[in-house]
Amino acid sequence: MKRGKVWLVGAGPSDPGLLTLKAKKALEEAEVVLYDSLVGPGVLAVIPEGVRLIDVGKRAGRAHMSQERINKTLLEEALKGCKVVRLKGGDPFLFGRGGEELELLAEHGIPFEIVPGVTSAIAVPAYAGIPVTHRDFCSSVHIVAGRKKDSDRPDVDFEALARLKGTLVFLMGAGALEYICSSLISAGMDAATPAAVLEKGASARQRRVVATLASLPEAAARAELKTPAIIVVGEVCGLAERFHWAEDRPLGGARVVVTRPRELASRLSETLRGMGAEVVELPAIKTVEIRDNAGLDRALENLSDYDWIVFTSQAGVGVFFDRLLRSKKDARSLSGIRLAAIGGATEKALAERGVIADCVPEKYDSSSLGRALAAAARPGERLLIPRARIGSRELTRELDAAGLVYDDIPVYDTQYAAPGAVDVGGLLAEREGLYAAFTSASTVRGFAAMAGGADRSRVKAVCIGEQTAAEAARLGMEVYVSDDITVDSLAEKIAELHRASKER
């Protein structure tokens, strides 16, 4: 009987950019993923569609599933022959109970690998502008569990910690903040020592409170900081005011949901991340090729009958050229045929396949494409339109008005996608409003389906095109429209809105 394998993977602290290449590869190969609550939504969105997901819900001592049950589940799934990823926030061997999870696997001879993760003990202070070591202040850093197994208080020698003269980082200690601070002072540490509580570090919702060791509990309570949070004690905390950087970026502090199909999301996501946003790729729709497609097959057999091929999306370009190759033809078969593209992204998709669009409207929408074709096509010419099964009537209305002859052939279906491990309702319930980037009315509807009954009124829907915006408004979102019908303009509109929100 084939035995599976377990990868114990550290997801890092929230920011998917801190996920290691090895961790990403393990997730791409996984058949089953057991994940904790501390794994950020951007990281969860990386998990491919079709993977079986098990939410074990561990956070600050609370769990949907006991540690013993988690251990047994890992064993059971591996014994079925599955590739299993145990996905944990931060690093699996730093207070992550990773060693306990391996014991049962080792006892039964299950193969496993450890994929270390970026620990929050270093990354979260860094995102807050706090270097945990600095030659002018300290030469050591000490990471301490802020609670023990059966108590909300740490089981540590505070006198020894007070003598260390290094930076102290307490993980899982937010509930014992007052006890930790008073114990360090009682052990001889100067009450004026700089200290900080860092909430939701390395995410768009990160906050920091920096005070003295004596005043930190009151300052944190006044700010109403919540878990997950870490405590940092040491002179280096005083550098945060000079070294903070994450929130200073154009989209620092912004969380943006990108709803484009996964294969089309990368450029927009990279642009937004480059501006400092926390991006959650949450494909609201997916395009599925119509495999049994006699109409397209006939068109490919008789390409010489057409004078124009009209592409209304990148997905249509992909399906058409894939089918062309499967029919034992290539771009040479298009000799003498002119090509039209609805916009810059579709034009680029054609260029990547070695062909150049002859007609691209100045305004990237269906009506403009139809009018551009009416002006460019000669009487008697025939057009082929390979596009979505539910395509815009605006295009064909313009072609009909111009008396043009065309074959409008569906080549793919647009389907709503499942949210996977991402808790969409939880995203919508966050303290601050959520930006959502929409490039079509179907992505709006798909996102609303994922949200279920959650309140959508605080979603800042930033849309390409008036039709997309109208759908978002109909579904109760706060609507904004990009100045141009491009992903760059979409990103700039989000930055403009976020800049205005920070100035208020």
The whole-number pLDDT of residue 486 equals: 84
Query: What is the distance, to the nearest Å, from the Cα of residue 196 to the centroid of all Cα atoms in its chain?
Result: 28
The CATH number assigned to the domain holding 428 equals: 3.40.50.10090
User: With 90 as the cut, is the pLDDT of residue 365 above it?
Assistant: no
Taking each helix axis as running N to C, give the angle between helix 314-326 and helix 294-301, from 0 to 180 degrees, rounded to the nearest 10.
Answer: 70
Distance CA 216, CA 194 (A): 9
Q: In this structure, what are the phi and psi dihedrals at residue 165, rounded to the nearest 5 degrees?
A: 65, 10
Domain limits for position 391: 288-416
What would the mean pLDDT of 393-413 be, rounded to a whole number?
95
Q: Given 85, 118, 151, which residue is the final one in a domain? A: 118
- 231 against 147, higher pLDDT: 231
Note the pLDDT tens digit of each residue in 216-243. Answer: 999 999 999 999 999 999 999 999 999 9
Q: Please indicate, yes or no, whether residues 172 and 150 belong to a single structural domain of this protein.
A: yes
Across 192-206, 247-261, 416-430, least confident range: 416-430
What would the mean pLDDT of 50-62 be, rounded to a whole number?
78
Q: How far apart are the first and last CA of the chain?
A: 63
User: With 70 as the cut, is the pLDDT of residue 150 above it?
Assistant: no
The whole-number pLDDT of residue 465 equals: 85
Distance CA 400, CA 309 (A): 16
Q: Please indicate, yes or no, whether residues 404 and 432 belong to a single structural domain of this protein.
A: no
Q: Please indicate, yes or no, whether residues 142 and 238 belong to a single structural domain of this protein.
A: yes
Q: Please indicate, yes or no, whether residues 82 and 44 belong to a single structural domain of this protein.
A: yes
The whole-number pLDDT of residue 218 equals: 97
Q: Which two tokens stand for residue 271?
A: 């642009």
Q: Please indicate, yes or no, whether residues 129 and 167 belong to a single structural domain of this protein.
A: yes
Q: Given 362, 387, 416, which residue is the final one in a domain? A: 416
Distance CA 478, CA 496 (A): 15
User: With 70 as the cut, is the pLDDT of residue 318 above it?
Assistant: yes
Task: Tell me the pLDDT of the chain averaged across its residues.
Answer: 93
Q: Are strands 207-212 and 194-199 parallel, antiparallel or unpaired?
A: antiparallel
The CATH number assigned to the domain holding 222 equals: 3.30.950.10
What would the mean pLDDT of 323-346 be, rounded to a whole number?
93
Q: Please indicate, yes or no, whether residues 380 and 333 belong to a single structural domain of this protein.
A: yes
Q: Given 61, 92, 118, which residue is the final one in a domain? A: 118
Distance CA 192, CA 461 (A): 46
Note the pLDDT tens digit of each residue in 436-495. Answer: 999 989 999 999 999 988 999 999 999 998 889 999 999 999 999 999 888 899 999 999
Number of domains composing the chain: 4
- What residues act catalytically? 36, 58
Strand-pairing partners, residue 438, are 463
Helical (H) or strand (E) element with 393: helix 393-401
Distance CA 26, CA 469 (A): 38
Q: Please indicate, yes or no, whether residues 294 and 402 belong to a single structural domain of this protein.
A: yes
The whole-number pLDDT of residue 64 equals: 73
Q: Please indicate, yes or no, whether residues 355 and 472 belong to a single structural domain of this protein.
A: no
The whole-number pLDDT of residue 51 equals: 95
Strand-pairing partners, residue 198, are 208, 230
The whole-number pLDDT of residue 63 equals: 56
- The 459-463 sheet, strands edge to edge: 278-281, 255-258, 434-438, 459-463, 478-481
Closest by Cα among 393, 369, 373 to 381: 373
| Residue 411 and residue 386 in contact, taking contact as beta carbons nearer than 8 Å | yes
